[in-house]
Amino acid sequence: MRLPGILFLLLSGVLVGPGLGWLNPDALLGDLLFPLVSLAVAIILFEGSLTLRFADLRDLGRTVRNLVTLGAAISWGVTSVIVHYVVGFDIKVSLLFGAVVVVTGPAVIVPMLRTVRPNVNIAQVLRWEGIIIDPIGALLAVLAFNFYVSTEANEAVASILELFIRIAVVGSVLGVIAGIALGELLKRYFIPDFLRSPMTLLLVIVVFAMAENFEHESGLLAVTVLGITLANQKGVIVDDILHFKENHSVLLISGLFILLAARIDLTGLLNIGWDALIVLAGVMLVSRPIAVFASSIGSNLNFRERLLIAWIGPRGIVCAAVAAIFAIKLEALDAPGSTLFVPLAFLIIIGTVVIQSLTAKPIASLLGVRDPAPTGFLIYGGGRVARLLAGALAGENLRVMIADGNWFNLSQARMDGVETYFGNPASEHADRYLDLTGIGNLLCITGRSNLDVLASLYFKDLTPNTYELPTATENRSDKHKITTRLRGDHLFSSQTNYEALLSWLDDGAEVRAKPLTEEFTFENYVETYRNRYIALFVVDNSGRLRVVTDQADVVPEPGCKIISLVKPE
């Protein structure tokens, strides 16, 4: 449906919880509910922080720093004022509520970025902000709650500053020490490969628990610092750990959103009335834009990029979890407005997720800050077969790039007007300089199976689709074949290989595109060309190009266009 899955998770939670009454999280999990929520949030934050590399920030570091400090403070203050005057919360409860809804969070930002596809500047700022702001928001909420308790008990407010320092020191020190220690263990191969991911997960849980034991609410900060420290150590490869954590995060995010949405009190939400919608509008249209534009003064972001960043600020799982935890604490103190705390927070979560999920993509298109759709092709190999396919794809107005270490091949491709990259696309240089904007497909056509397999394996997580054209020498017993689990999809038919296509080119074969109609169907096409064609690509009725593989029979419908390599009669 081309919408973030979080939207449907929230709706599902509301449906099975307060809607139908099938799920009662408090009865199901009892006292374990919020410890499990806190631990799950810690794992999600760690997974997100593993993707944060300082090298990616380049000129955007100051903007991110400002967003999670100055921007967070502005958002906190403005939101608190809005809630105080619109809903009528006590100023101290309003400060706590403002701190809770400061956070955005990777659980909602990352899926939205996949759908919206903003340019790299916007994506990096939003990703960094979403991950770093979560523990900061939780910390602000702790300070606001302690401010409420201290003033109610006429205690010294100076103790709040001491608490802030303790949380920051405990979380940062534990996170850095654990990150450096784990990095050294991984670099020196003291942990077997098959235990790298489980041991890392165990350490995340241990660090979170230790930090919480030393200083309550410092755990989220500790695991975030742990992930950033680990991701930015030289010589530490965390790709396998990241994949392991991503799989867990999908499960945890799904479960958490359904569980917490099932706890929403719809009656309390309705009791707030139109005031709740005014608060939502204030958060989206006043608080967020002021924070973003103030934080990006003097940055390299242009006005349109700032505008989209100001619009995308959905609240996520940390907001939901922290709101639920502090609402219980406020209720225990008989604080005024405590019963409306969670419903109002969830209205902001649902409102920002729903509205921004539905509108961010068209707004990004209108502003011209979206990356192209990943329909382009990177072709590894610059020989005759690769150049032939590149020409066919370029004729369909797709971005095509040929990568090869053979300068003669690339010079021929350049004379054909094809974009090129001189070198191995799986090299460190390519990591830094190969522009994959709009690239969603990899065709490995080097004529050397070892290079093709390496590239396919490397790019499986960088491009949605990887394909290979095997060589004739691979037609041997299973003992000598490379497992298909490590390879891309077999290009074209199961009998097609690199040498066969070269032979067809020697025989004068050329690429032909033929539209199919009600009068000239695919059956007519097969009858006309019989054994003189190899189907390469099919352009469907919506204009989308699909690569033909050996996995499925191609039966294009009328209105499609079939692109084939055809021998002369």
C-alpha–C-alpha distance, residues 42 and 3, integer Å: 26
46: three-class secondary structure by DSSP: helix
pLDDT of residue 321: 75
Residue with tokens 């523990």: 135
- For the CA atoms of 243, 248, 251, 256, the dihedral, rounded to the nearest 10 degrees, stands at -130
Residue with tokens 């990150």: 179
- 433 within domain boundaries: yes
pLDDT of residue 309: 92
Q: DSSP string spanning 408-455?
A: HHHHHHHHTT-EEEES-TTSHHHHHH---TTEEEEEE-SS-HHHHHHH
What is the radius of gyration, based on Cα positions, of the chain?
Answer: 28
- 35 within domain boundaries: yes
Of 216, 240, 238, 217, residue with least CA distance to 227: 238
Given the DSSP bridges, would you call strands 561-566 and 533-539 parallel, antiparallel or unpaired?
Answer: antiparallel
C-alpha–C-alpha distance, residues 414 and 516, integer Å: 32
Tell me: do 326 and 394 sit in the same domain: no
Q: What string of pLDDT tens digits covers the 569 residues of the chain?
A: 666 677 788 889 889 998 898 999 888 888 888 788 888 888 877 877 887 777 666 666 788 888 888 888 999 999 999 999 988 888 888 888 888 888 876 667 877 787 788 887 888 888 888 877 877 777 777 777 777 777 665 555 566 777 778 888 998 999 999 999 999 998 888 988 888 888 999 999 999 999 989 987 788 888 888 988 998 888 887 777 877 766 777 788 788 888 888 887 777 667 777 888 899 999 999 999 999 999 988 888 889 999 999 999 888 777 877 787 778 778 777 777 777 888 888 888 888 888 888 888 899 989 988 877 788 899 998 889 899 999 989 888 888 999 998 888 888 888 888 899 888 888 877 876 777 777 888 999 888 888 888 888 888 777 778 888 888 776 666 666 777 777 788 888 878 888 888 998 988 988 888 898 888 888 888 888 888 888 889 988 888 888 888 876 667 888 889 999 988 88
Tell me: do 354 and 496 sit in the same domain: no
What does pTM read for this prediction? 0.70
- 25 within domain boundaries: no
User: How many structural domains are present in the chain?
Assistant: 2
pLDDT of residue 487: 79
Tell me: do 83 and 212 sit in the same domain: yes
pLDDT of residue 157: 58
pLDDT of residue 314: 86
Helix, strand and coil content of the chain, in percent to the nearest 5, comes to 65, 10, 25
- The CATH number for 347's domain is 1.20.1530.20
Q: Among 367, 390, 406, give the residue marking a domain's end.
A: 367
DSSP type of residue 478: T
C-alpha–C-alpha distance, residues 463 and 449, integer Å: 19
Tell me: do 69 and 206 sit in the same domain: yes
Of 344, 284, 360, residue with least CA distance to 116: 360
Tell me: do 433 and 485 sit in the same domain: yes
545: three-class secondary structure by DSSP: strand
Using alpha carbons, list the distances in angstroms from residue 568 to 410, 496, 505: 28, 18, 10
C-alpha–C-alpha distance, residues 279 and 352, integer Å: 11
Residue with tokens 């509910």: 33
Given the DSSP bridges, would you call strands 465-468 and 400-404 parallel, antiparallel or unpaired?
Answer: unpaired
- The H or E element that residue 152 is part of is helix 120-152
- The CATH number for 500's domain is 3.40.50.720
C-alpha–C-alpha distance, residues 404 and 40, integer Å: 44
Q: Among 367, 398, 415, give the residue marking a domain's end.
A: 367
Tell me: do 180 and 295 sit in the same domain: yes
Tell me: do 139 and 203 sit in the same domain: yes
C-alpha–C-alpha distance, residues 213 and 215, integer Å: 6
- 24 within domain boundaries: no
- 388 within domain boundaries: yes
Q: Among 347, 367, 387, give the residue marking a domain's end.
A: 367
Tell me: do 108 and 47 sit in the same domain: yes
State the residue range of the domain holding 104. Answer: 5-19+30-367
Tell me: do 380 and 239 sit in the same domain: no
- 332 within domain boundaries: yes
pLDDT of residue 110: 74
Is residue 97 a contact partner of residue 76, using CB atoms and an 8 Å limit?
Answer: no
The residues, any chain, with a CB within 8 Å of residue 54's CB and separated by 6 or more, are 61, 232
Tell me: do 321 and 445 sit in the same domain: no
Given the DSSP bridges, would you call strands 465-468 and 561-566 parallel, antiparallel or unpaired?
Answer: unpaired
Tell me: do 382 and 245 sit in the same domain: no
- 412 within domain boundaries: yes
C-alpha–C-alpha distance, residues 133 and 70, integer Å: 12
Is residue 105 a contact partner of residue 128, using CB atoms and an 8 Å limit?
Answer: no
Tell me: do 319 and 436 sit in the same domain: no
- For the CA atoms of 439, 443, 445, 449, the dihedral, rounded to the nearest 10 degrees, stands at 120
